[in-house]
Structure 1
Amino acid sequence: MSVKWYLHKLAMMFGAEARRPNKDEETDAARAMKKFQKTPEQTVERRKIIQHELDFPVVSNKWKFARWTSIILINVMFIVSFAWDVQLVEGAMTASRFLGFHMADPTGALQVMLAFKQIMLNLLIGTVTVMFIWWFFGGRAFCSWACPYHLLAEWAEAIHLFLAKRGWVKDHPFHRGLRVVLWFVFMGLALVTGYTAFEYINPVGIVSRALIYGPSLAVLWVVFLLSIEIFFSRRFWCRYACPMGLTYGVIGTAAPIQIKYELDKCVHEGECRAVCLVPHVLDITKMGYAQDTEEFIAPDCTRCGLCVDACPQGALSFTLRGLDKVI
């Protein structure tokens, strides 16, 4: 992958629009494959495959149910530890101790250090630990494999799609750069005011604490966010607003675990983009958008696996980078 193309993928995480690769970014193999796929014979074959997929859809929920299980088990571990006082894990999703080891959400930890204007050793250790874990699995894997709000948002999205299919609601997208603006706003507020302002409205912390210690009035804010996602803007918080998602995305820019795209297997029907939480990362699956015949999805990918489940051609797969091992 060329440096220029990699920087473009990073820029997409900060709000840039996806684009086709320039001639100097496109490999010879990719150019030849794209030319082959556009031949009359391949065009006819591709249309036959797409029609067959429409007539005989294959539905897989392998990765979705694996994620749901992961989210539930991680959060149940917090609940059980507090309720039974087993001290396996203490605290909540944004800051905790696991078997005595400090764990701290990087976004929250940075706010605390900015607010107090000092580096705290325990907080730093906890932050580095969490950063290493989610660097390995892919930064935003936290969003789809651990975040309790993500599961609620996924169910809200299902309601939104049900209503949209009947014409009762319509999606209103925002610019993805909003998330970057909010990240700097909340960091600035922590520095200037001495308060971690974001944590008062962070639905991840609110839902986690409500599950562990019982609900508070802050849950009404979560209900409000979910209402926006159901009736106005699909996946509003996760796609356009959450500063945590941006931080984890940066952490996972060179993660070992990736989702790999194989151009020669793709028929460009777009099923993967239809289910993706962050569909801009899958624009390379559009005809002419891939830079190489094999390419890793952009850093903003949450590793949710919905695209892997949705692709009947197997053009998308989980892989361990460097070993080229399919998971």
Structure 2
Amino acid sequence: MKRRFFEQIMVMFGREPKKPAAIAPAAQKIHFYKRGNRDFIAEKLHARAHAEHKNTWRNRRWAVLILVNLLFVVSFHFDIQLLEGALTASRFAGFHLIDLNSALQVMLAHKHIIINLVIGTGTVFVIWLLLGGRTFCSWVCPYHLLAEWTESLHLYLVKKKLVTDQPMDRRMRTISWFLFALLAIGTGYTVFEAISPTGILSRALIYGAGVALLWVLALLVFEVFFSRRAWCRYACPIGLTYGVVGILSPVRILYTLDGCFHEGDCRKVCLVPHVLDTVIKGRAVNTEVPIGPDCTRCGLCVDTCPTGSLKFDVKGLSRLL
């Protein structure tokens, strides 16, 4: 289990998933049954043909994301002082909330620990430690929602063979994280905050559109015509920061090997399909495998799975329906 946990962390930093070196006896038994079993193959084809793709978790997530960002807008325009600021730094009912990556960038730029920032990040750190760091990406980040909507256009163009999806090296995101950290130290300026589509969109929604939205538009155009979800998958250091915070999160997606038909639909809809490497036939190291910390907990795989083999789970508590 410790080895599997370490592998999941390395995959988050860009390593490609590897075939497991050791598989638990109970999982080996299930793998052996599925290999070449005609009844299993027939069940797989039946499940795929009659799969009912729900949008339960997707709709919940979209509702939460829109409401959180709308709360910023309403609070500012009606001056109700409930949620002030933007996603990078805000105050909710008097409690300071500061984005972890933004706070880190500021402290690196100023080259010392700023106590007020540490206090402001405390609540945010606990929230995402409990919920799973990259939950922020799919449940709060406004760029994620736009990228998800424009992704459908990209997939349509790919289907029509008008464009091809160009995957890139996932290690670029780790390099990006260190690059922006070094730029903050070297320039004394939070360079990333100037180009972060998350911050740009949040401020534009609250205070009004600016020329920086052209950069966001350029990113979306690049993702539509060249590489699916390129910014979130290969560049954004925010996702990596929150992924590290969520390593020990009790909230996760749990995979159950026994009922899985390995039809692969979950990996097709996943923003970060490398985290679902374990669903490939013969890859699961145990009968139940928690999905790694790079998972955004978006719930698309849960909605898509025809057999319920992927579910939300709280470690140590009963599973969520």
Q: So what's the TM-score if we normalise by structure 2? A: 0.98
CA distance in 1, matches of 2:96, 2:202: 17
1:324 offset after TM fit, Å? 4.0
Q: Structure 2: how far apart are the matches of 1:113 and 1:138? A: 24
> What does residue 160 of structure 1 align with?
154
Pairing of 1:10-21 with structure 2 (within 5 A): 10-21=9-20
Code of the residue aligned with 2:234 in structure 1: it is Y
1:284 maps to: 278
Distance in 1, Cα, partners of 2:212 & 2:196: 10
Indicate yes or no: 2:135 matched with 1:138.
no
Task: Provide the aligned length of Structure 1 versus Structure 2.
Answer: 321
**Which residue of the partner structure matches residue 302 of structure 1?**
296
- AA matched with 1:20: K
1:326 aligns to what SS in structure 2? coil
State the alpha-carbon separation in 2 of the partners of residues 326 and 208 from structure 1. 31
Which amino acid letter does the alignment assign opposite residue 27 of structure 1? A
Which of 124, 127, 131 is the matching residue for 2:121?
A: 127
Q: Report the Cα offset of residue 129 of structure 1.
A: 1.2
SS at match of 2:123: helix
Q: Is the 8 A contact 2:27 2:284 kept in 1?
A: yes
Distance 1:128 1:290 in 2: 36
| Pair 1:151 & 2:151 matched | no
Aligned-residue offset at 1:128 = 1.8
Checking the alignment, whether the CA contact within 8 Å between 1:20 and 1:290 is kept in structure 2 is no
Identify the residue that residue 245 of structure 2 maps to in structure 1: 251
Question: Which residue of structure 2 lines up, in the alignment, with residue 237 of structure 1?
Answer: 231
In the alignment, is the contact (CA less than 8 A) between 2:128 and 2:135 conserved in 1?
A: yes
Give the percent of matched residue pairs that are identical in Structure 1 and Structure 2: 53
Asked whether the 8 Å contact 2:48–2:263 carries over to 1, the reply is no
- Look up the equivalent residue of 1:264 and give its one-letter code: D
**Post-superposition, which runs of at least 4 consecutive aligned residues in structure 1 deviate over 4 A?**
none
After superposition, residues 1-327 of structure 1 pair within 5 angstroms as: 1=1, 3-23=2-22, 26-38=23-35, 40=36, 43-327=37-321
**Deviation by residue 1:48-74 (Cα, 9 ceiling, x = unmatched):** 223223433312000111110011000
CA-based RMSD of the aligned residues comes to 1.0
CA contact (8 A) 1:258 1:303 kept: yes
SS in structure 2 at match of 1:96: strand
1:127 CA displacement: 1.2
Greater alpha carbon shift after TM alignment, 116-125 vs 177-186: 116-125
- In the superposition, the TM-score normalised over structure 1's length comes to 0.96
Gaps of 5+ in 2: none
Decide whether the 8 Å contact of 1:61 with 1:309 is kept in 2.
yes
User: SS of the counterpart of 1:139?
Assistant: coil
Q: Distance in 1 between matches of 2:8 and 2:211?
A: 40
Deviation at 1:243, TM superposition (A): 0.2
Task: Map Cα deviations across residues 277-326 of structure 1 (whole Å, 9 max, x no partner).
Answer: 00000010001111110010011000000000010111000011112423
AA of the residue aligned to 2:274: H
Check whether the contact 1:270–1:286 (CA below 8 A) recurs between aligned residues. yes
SS at match of 1:85: coil
The residue type equivalent to 1:71 in the other structure is L
Once residues 164 and 252 of structure 1 are traced to their aligned partners in structure 2, the CA distance between those partners, rounded to angstroms, is: 33
SS at match of 1:252: helix
